[in-house]
Structure 1
């Protein structure tokens, strides 16, 4: 249609381009479109005509100016798209202009189109060379946002970068980490899938396979793609494909439907009514352009007069296909002739379906954007009146500049362009749900708004239906999630989503699902049985509540009681010869020290503290030295007593009671001095032993100075050895009651116990170290009590006839 200013239009109303074979002997034919007819694209082109007629009837927009249009079918093929671009730039004027106006002879002011990214790229490159703006309604390739490459390109549909981001976040939202991917082998599919994969990789989504196809591929190639989908383990399939391409793949899958698959669709095919006819795709979810309402469009689409149809080859073909009749005589022998009773209002087709106006609104907005740009360039508002100059010759750059600035609201929808020529991205999330009648319906379940803050762009506000009409979210993972207490170990040669779950090593936990690593608990904590939380380690020490402690306490008190009873017996019979022999004073002092030895073992039981740690070792060292000193004094008394019986000997004069007391005090004072130095320089202190056991804490006394500890033990051992040697020397002295024999045996037991104690003490873990030390104290103490005092008590109590001076003085 002619007009003061002409707007071009490019749509692919047919699916294929005729294949031409050139023989180089005749003039080549012009390429033309053939194949299946796309009624949806016809609706897009008619929407453009509707918008232009609506503008021409407007008194506010371009008053006094009539817009014309030139609409062409590109059938999505680059050769025809290039040919269409030349037609839009030069027209089909048969005259060849030689003057300065040659480049303006048939040039359109701007153009709307195309419906695919690949043909749009070709058209935009050509039109950009002449600064002619191209506003696309359906070309979403992110590459077209490059203003250096495509300076005059604009679009009313968002870039695929946003669509890819929305699809990836949709997949991540439902926990799908193992998916398949198919896409059109075109700029739309290749660039869109590249953007999706980049975002998916960032979101931790793995792709089992990536297959590309195109509508012109051989059936075997499309079957190969379909077989990959059938054999795959991924339940979710993301299809970034044009509706025209997806039609061929779905037809191939319909011949042998695959196992249930959850389809995720791009906006090109997810709203296509033809694609929705494949029942095995029920439950498909995807992104779609916002649904809209265009008042008056349905009436315009249905208002087709026979004369109007006959005047257009495209409408004629559509009419003949819809009603299966022929408007042209002798064209289709198998079709009846149309009789004029055909009514388009009774037909259900993609052309008449205006229930889901999405892309049609993009066409509508594109036409209005161009009209507003022309209005701003050609019209002026003077005193409230708008006047437009329809004879003005524009520099095409002027329309481009005005397009960059347009900002208006049409039918409640904002229209504006960002610096790169793109609109603000807003998508609806749609779901294919089966109605009560069994037909698949397109239901809006959420939205994606790129203008919202990060993390808030995505929202679902309605229940979805999944594959096979299910209500449970399908699972599509290569490996099941690893529970807390385990970590992921990648499978060799597989993507990061394929892994094994390995329990955390000893002492480590993981408290998150799908944790890549386990981490150590703090020093004083240990994993629970599930290894998903650190709990405080149990603190262990030899407490009074334990059975072992009760036994040791019982023996300790029993020993102290036995010593006390022995002392009482000796005190009651203190005037008898057997008590008075070998210095009764040393015997009572020995019994007192033995009682302290038994009781000092109690200081080793219970939670260690600073005072208890210092007390236990020093009390043990001093009481035992006091005990051994007394035994040593008694041994020397035995030797001196027999020396004194020799003629002219005054041995007892030099080792009488005063000397015996001095000996005991001196030996004990040395131990007191050693303990004092130890406590002053480096005393024992309580410490938490974290190394002996990994899973528990041993509360024990650190020695402070190891030298001090072994000096105390060494001094005790030195006195015991000295006493043992003297006792051996005195063991054969003639007497009915030679105490040296008893001392020898007691020292033998004492030394055996403490020699055994050393390796046992070093090798015993934790609280058993303390138990070994207590056992050594009790064993050696019982050895002294029983060996030295038990025989005397037996004589005192049961053999009083032997408790006489005469019996004791008899020599064998």
Structure 2
């Protein structure tokens, strides 16, 4: 796990070795764990090669320097447990051999989720959480920053294929699109890097041309080396299109890119890294600071590491460095890209893995000591300990490590430590700083998700907006909805304004929503506003105008009635039934006062009263006009010699006509009240922004029956008056009745379509106007000429003038 293809010690992997040695040393020095037992370890490298992984695993099971598996020619036994490997494929290759020996395998870098059958068939004890939690963390991170247009780079391997398949499904479910998804070649430390550079160049151009600013990278340590080479080249050429937010998965453990401290780290400034949860272990930094290649003891890697890191040479070494190593060099003087002083997530997992094995062995020895019959045979049994005996104790192990964090396995033999989310800050000397900005905590409630401290975040200097956008197009603002672009992914869309009556109160809504009936959209269609209750009131200008007209014509009617009462004995007043004239004037007065009922707030009483009063009073008025018309006709017919019409002329006929017509209308109104009377109604749909408080007719048919009956009486009056218009007289009242009925019918015929085409208070205003106009037409046509003669031309108000022939 330690050498690259040029036999150089990889700094990050060497920290793994130091963490292993540090943990073993602590266990051996702790009298509370495995007293009188000393742990030892062997280190083998897989070179990220399938062939070398099998070779190294078989070498563990062979006699040293013999490579004969299953054959032991000395006292050395097979190891009690194995810690490794770093990636999922390496762990699987090791398990293919170790499963036959039932040797516990504690993996510190195998994240890929397993199915149930695979979990039972492999002897894995995972020192890292299930990768499924990392998928969730990546998706939640993208959603938190609103990144819906992202790129994906995954290594061309079994785990990379699974990662891409699962993540694409999750992204689709959350409405996130992939701008591109590239497979990067899987490399080994035994291959020349230029053999793999060509496929990376293809990915380089795709990344540069994409508008996606967020790129998720899943791979192995080696793949990061090539990515860094390409991005460093783009940084040197000032290619701003390569400024991305790199989201690194925990498999990469970012320091693995630092094969050389001279490599440029600036392209990764502001990157977001998922790392296995780690904590600072007391004493580990002190160990690192105390390292000295001249006192390395059994550490056979330290001098090689020292030469590579500080570019110096030791006596009798083959290194091509002119400066000799003095031993005064300090690791904490190196940039982070050369060596990290803080314990990384993988090193922390190795540290915990050593303690898991130690506590498992300790629990097994304690179970032996409880059996009194076995105490004397304890030492021989320790010498004959078989690896498979450790499994039940490892599954149930639970303890607090030196940092105070609980270490225990779940049912699937996984450590539930969670992931740290770190933000990478780079410096000109190619050093970098990991800033923890959040954590995927598996013990937290699912609804809480994981908080990101955005105040600690830093971003690449090329971004003009922070946090940067990573979308196919800009967000659709409130008041619009997303409209899919034909032939493109669902994250690419146009913004379409909400239709009438609908709003969108958030950005990027797929559909606009309608307001409730008592609300309406504002001008920008971003929120619903409560509607105002509207009805025709006396206080508003329109209501005041109609009320003024009602009062004005009422006063004119009273004036006409006063004039007629004062001159009641004159021929004009006495002609054509004086009492019928008084009834007509009083009914006209009531007609003019009816609109005042319409100008009050609609309630059950006023709604019933306004329609019934209107129908009955107008019927009385029209029936009086009809009675006067019939009286005029009969009066002239009765003047002919021998006419039988004399007996019909008189007050009784007029009273009978008025009473009969009124009773019929009252009967219609009674049926209306008994079946479906008018009632107050809130109309929430007709007018935008208003709730119209109106009187619903209840039965529209009965309402039009009332109007139709009045219209019938008016038409009959008009026909009769029209036929009698040429009767000889100096003051022929039939002419004026004909004109008044023509005006009356014209008003109410035009009323129906206008009434049906208006809404709200204007509908009430139309009805009031029709009442006033038709009543004023009757008052002006019938009584204005008479009042003119009575007041201004009294010389014409004589019996002689009344019966004068043409």
Whether TM exceeds 0.5 here: the answer is: yes
Partner of 2:244: 261
Name the CA distance, whole Å, in 1 between partners of 2:699 and 2:339: 99
Partner of 2:705: 711
Structure 1 pair 212–343 and aligned structure 2 pair: CA distance change class (3 A) = farther
Alignment partner of 1:176 is 2:147: yes
1:529, distance to aligned residue in structure 2 (A): 1.8
Structure 2, unpaired ranges of 5+? none
Q: Answer yes or no: is the 8 Å Cα contact 2:743–2:774 preserved in 1.
A: yes
1:448-491, Cα deviation, whole Å (9 max, x unpaired): 32123224463456722222298942222333333333323333
5 Å matches for 1:188-587?
Answer: 189-213=160-184, 214-215=186-187, 218-257=196-235, 258-259=239-240, 260-272=243-255, 275=258, 278-288=265-275, 289-293=277-281, 295=283, 299=287, 302-305=291-294, 312=300, 317-318=304-305, 321-322=308-309, 345=330, 348=334, 353-377=340-364, 381=369, 388-389=379-380, 392-412=383-403, 413-434=405-426, 439-456=431-448, 458-460=450-452, 463-468=456-461, 472-587=466-581
Partner of 1:4: none
Q: Answer yes or no: is the 8 Å Cα contact 1:167–1:286 preserved in 2.
A: no
1:595, distance to aligned residue in structure 2 (A): 2.0
1:246, distance to aligned residue in structure 2 (A): 0.5
Partner of 1:77: 49
1:44, distance to aligned residue in structure 2 (A): 2.4
Deviates more, 1:68-77 or 1:266-275: 266-275
Structure 1, unpaired ranges of 5+? 1-10, 17-33
Structure 1 pair 262–691 and aligned structure 2 pair: CA distance change class (3 A) = closer
Partner of 1:24: none
Aligned residues: 779
Partner of 1:5: none
CA RMSD of aligned residues (A): 3.8
Partner of 2:597: 603
1:351, distance to aligned residue in structure 2 (A): 8.5
Partner of 1:592: 586
1:749, distance to aligned residue in structure 2 (A): 3.0
Name the CA distance, whole Å, in 2 between partners of 1:759 and 1:296: 93
Name the CA distance, whole Å, in 1 between partners of 2:401 and 2:164: 32
Structure 1 pair 161–473 and aligned structure 2 pair: CA distance change class (3 A) = same
Name the CA distance, whole Å, in 2 between partners of 1:455 and 1:611: 56
1:53, distance to aligned residue in structure 2 (A): 5.1
SS at match of 1:290: coil
Match of 2:12 among 21, 25, 40: 40
Structure 1 pair 135–628 and aligned structure 2 pair: CA distance change class (3 A) = closer
Name the CA distance, whole Å, in 2 between partners of 1:703 and 1:760: 17
5 Å matches for 1:635-674?
Answer: 635-649=629-643, 651-674=645-668
Name the CA distance, whole Å, in 2 between partners of 1:618 and 1:415: 87
Q: Answer yes or no: is the 8 Å Cα contact 2:266–2:430 preserved in 1.
A: no
- Computing the radius of gyration from Cα coordinates, the structure with the larger value is 1
1:729, distance to aligned residue in structure 2 (A): 3.9
Name the CA distance, whole Å, in 2 between partners of 1:765 and 1:430: 63
Partner of 2:770: 776
Deviates more, 1:145-154 or 1:607-616: 145-154
Match of 2:804 among 798, 807, 810: 810
Match of 2:87 among 116, 122, 125: 116
Name the CA distance, whole Å, in 2 between partners of 1:551 and 1:443: 74
Name the CA distance, whole Å, in 2 between partners of 1:85 and 1:663: 121
SS at match of 2:509: coil
1:203, distance to aligned residue in structure 2 (A): 4.3
Name the CA distance, whole Å, in 2 between partners of 1:586 and 1:45: 122
SS at match of 1:212: strand
Name the CA distance, whole Å, in 2 between partners of 1:777 and 1:98: 114
Q: Answer yes or no: is the 8 Å Cα contact 1:121–1:144 preserved in 2.
A: no
Structure 1 pair 750–35 and aligned structure 2 pair: CA distance change class (3 A) = same
1:81, distance to aligned residue in structure 2 (A): 0.5
SS at match of 1:256: helix
Structure 1 pair 596–235 and aligned structure 2 pair: CA distance change class (3 A) = same
5 Å matches for 1:760-775?
Answer: 760-775=754-769
Partner of 1:795: 789
Name the CA distance, whole Å, in 2 between partners of 1:242 and 1:554: 90
